[in-house]
């Protein structure tokens, strides 16, 4: 007997028929002797529809009330799946995030889990019940409902797996596993049998939507065995673990990308020691995530460019304009319609020339690189959004990611 956490994404539970299929998978696990905690997302595009309704109601919805609204999506799926499991003859119990003991920090829209009290979960499991938990949500110490941000159900699943010391956490989605890049953009993309926590973490942060970055962080921190697999077939998925088999002779394992990137530039900043901290402290206090940063010093003073997600643009401008006098910049400009393309691989650190190969491949296709960011296992480039698919194709071919060549 094992203790398994099974997480099902929005596509996997997009209709009653699909929820029945999910229930069947859970019942198979239960009949095999495993204890099961199922974590579910909202059905299909429910969250998007709730956001649309909120934006139709008011121009900028109050974040507390938006969390109250969005948390209902997962609760619908949670209750429906539990009803179907009971109809199949199982003992099952549905729990919201807060009923499952998930306490978060007091940040609406993107809260982090602080702790999980597992007593109710453990009691239900001991009674032989399948426990179905609404993902993406928790509650603060002051009893305020919060949501965990995009892909937060992944985070719920891994956090629960860590809290109850589960034997395995399975993430069921609409793809067979983790691919070298998104197969919707590159037909030659190939499923990876294994990938390391570090590589998956980079790919998740850089835009690979198959897993939420915080879920991978928690899996690595608490050594949670993690598998990504399809909810529509029985194909073996991708195992995410500490050390993965080095699969390709090239040092790049995959490509990640992000659309709707915005470049923000502040001109005429004072050239002093505290300038950077003055800018980014204000943005951090507003919970705005900054990605690539470039600083230039000229005779006209200091200029500072950085990238953000398009959804953060209004808040970023509001903060910077409000703090213009305190920060001391002369004027601000933005460039939207950009994309970020990244190559990722743990072997890059010991293979010089990978970045040069990446830059040459893009320039040979006439793709202008506007910004660059690097680490030991990734190189990210910001380009015009219209060149995204061409960049993915050429980089996938350049680093031969469609080929499987085992070594060692």
DSSP per-residue string spanning 227-241: EEEESSS----EEEE
Query: Which is more confident, 242 or 370?
Result: 370
For the entire predicted model, the pTM comes to 0.82
Specify the pLDDT at position 245: 59
pLDDT in tens, 180-229: 999 889 999 999 999 999 999 999 888 887 888 889 999 999 999 999 99
Q: Which residues contact 100 (CB under 8 A, 6 or more apart)?
A: 116, 120, 121, 131, 133, 134, 160
Where along the chain do its domains lie?
3-174
Classified as helix, coil or strand, 24 is helix
Within 10 angstroms of residue 406's Cβ, the number of other Cβ atoms is 10
Model confidence at 178, in pLDDT bands (50, 70, 90)?
very high
In degrees rounded to 5, what are phi and psi of residue 242? -60, -55
Specify the pLDDT at position 175: 87
Within 10 angstroms of residue 2's Cβ, the number of other Cβ atoms is 12
Rounded Cα distance, 138 and 110, in Å: 11
Q: Is 346 a residue whose pLDDT tops 90?
A: no
Output the six-digit token pair for 107: 């940040």
Output the six-digit token pair for 133: 């938990």
What number is the average pLDDT over the span 353-364? Answer: 94
Radius of gyration of the chain (CA): 23
Q: Is 1 a residue whose pLDDT tops 90?
A: no
Q: Is 408 a residue whose pLDDT tops 80?
A: no
Model confidence at 246, in pLDDT bands (50, 70, 90)?
low
Rounded Cα distance, 341 and 255, in Å: 7
Which H or E run contains 273?
none
Q: Is 403 a residue whose pLDDT tops 90?
A: no
Specify the pLDDT at position 209: 79
pLDDT in tens, 111-141: 999 999 999 999 999 999 999 999 999 999 9
What number is the average pLDDT over the span 393-404? Answer: 89
pLDDT in tens, 260-294: 999 999 999 998 889 999 999 999 999 899 999 99
Within 10 angstroms of residue 107's Cβ, the number of other Cβ atoms is 16
Provide the percentage of residues in the chain whose pLDDT is more than 70. Answer: 97
Task: Name the burial class of residue 359, with classes exposed (0-12), middle (13-18) and buried (19+) by CB atoms within 10 angstroms of its CB.
Answer: middle
Which H or E run contains 369?
none
- In a 13 Å sphere around the CA of 196, the CA atoms on its Cβ side amount to 16
Q: Which residues contact 224 (CB under 8 A, 6 or more apart)?
A: 158, 161, 162, 166, 169, 218
Helix, strand, coil fractions of the chain, as percent rounded to 5: 35, 25, 35
Specify the pLDDT at position 248: 45
As a whole number, the mean pLDDT across the chain is 92
Specify the pLDDT at position 89: 96
Q: Is 103 a residue whose pLDDT tops 90?
A: yes
Q: How far is CA 353 from CA 251, 252, 349, 357, 358, in A?
A: 10, 12, 10, 6, 9
Model confidence at 330, in pLDDT bands (50, 70, 90)?
very high
Specify the pLDDT at position 244: 59
Q: Is 145 a residue whose pLDDT tops 70?
A: yes
pLDDT in tens, 48-59: 999 999 999 999
The CATH code of the domain at 3-174 is 3.40.1160.10
């Amino acid at each position: 007997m094992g203790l398994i956490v099974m997480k099902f994404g929005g596509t996997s539970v997009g209709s009653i028929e699909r929820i029945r299929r999910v229930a069947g998978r859970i019942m198979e696990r239960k009949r095999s002797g495993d204890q099961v905690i199922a974590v579910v997302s909202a059905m299909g595009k429910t969250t998007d529809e709730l956001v649309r309704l909120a934006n139709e109601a008011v121009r900028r919805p109050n974040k507390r009330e938006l969390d109250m609204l969005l948390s209902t999506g997962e609760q619908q799926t949670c209750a429906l799946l539990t009803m179907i499991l009971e109809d199949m003859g199982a003992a099952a119990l549905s729990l919201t995030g807060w009923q499952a003991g998930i306490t978060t920090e007091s940040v609406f829209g993107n809260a982090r889990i602080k702790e999980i009290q597992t007593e109710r979960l453990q009691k239900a499991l001991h009674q032989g019940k399948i426990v179905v938990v609404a993902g993406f949500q928790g509650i603060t110490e002051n009893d305020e409902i919060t949501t965990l941000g995009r892909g937060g159900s992944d985070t719920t699943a891994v956090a629960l797996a860590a809290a109850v010391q589960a034997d395995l956490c399975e993430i069921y989605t609409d793809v067979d596993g983790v691919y070298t890049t998104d197969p919707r953009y590159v037909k030659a993309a190939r499923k990876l049998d294994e990938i390391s926590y570090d590589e998956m973490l980079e790919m998740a942060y850089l835009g690979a939507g198959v897993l939420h970055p915080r879920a991978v962080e928690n899996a690595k921190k608490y050594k949670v065995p993690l598998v990504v697999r399809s909810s529509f077939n029985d194909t073996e998925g991708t195992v995410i673990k500490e050390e993965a088999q080095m699969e390709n002779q090239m040092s790049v394992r995959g490509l990640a990308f992000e659309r709707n990137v915005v470049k923000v530039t502040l001109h005429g900043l004072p050239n002093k020691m505290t300038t950077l901290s003055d800018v980014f402290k204000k943005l951090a206090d507003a919970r705005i995530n900054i990605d690539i940063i470039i600083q230039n010093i000229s005779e006209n003073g200091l200029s500072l460019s950085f990238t953000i997600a398009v959804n953060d643009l209004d808040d970023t401008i509001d903060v910077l304009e409000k703090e213009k006098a305190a920060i001391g910049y002369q004027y601000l400009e933005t460039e939207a319609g950009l994309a970020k393309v990244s190559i990722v691989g743990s072997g890059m650190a010991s293979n010089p020339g990978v970045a040069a190969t990446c830059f040459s491949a893009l320039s040979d296709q006439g793709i202008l690189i506007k910004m660059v960011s690097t680490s030991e296992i990734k190189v990210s480039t910001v380009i015009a959004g219209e060149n995204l698919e061409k960049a993915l194709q050429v980089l996938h071919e350049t680093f031969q990611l469609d080929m499987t060549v085992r070594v060692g």
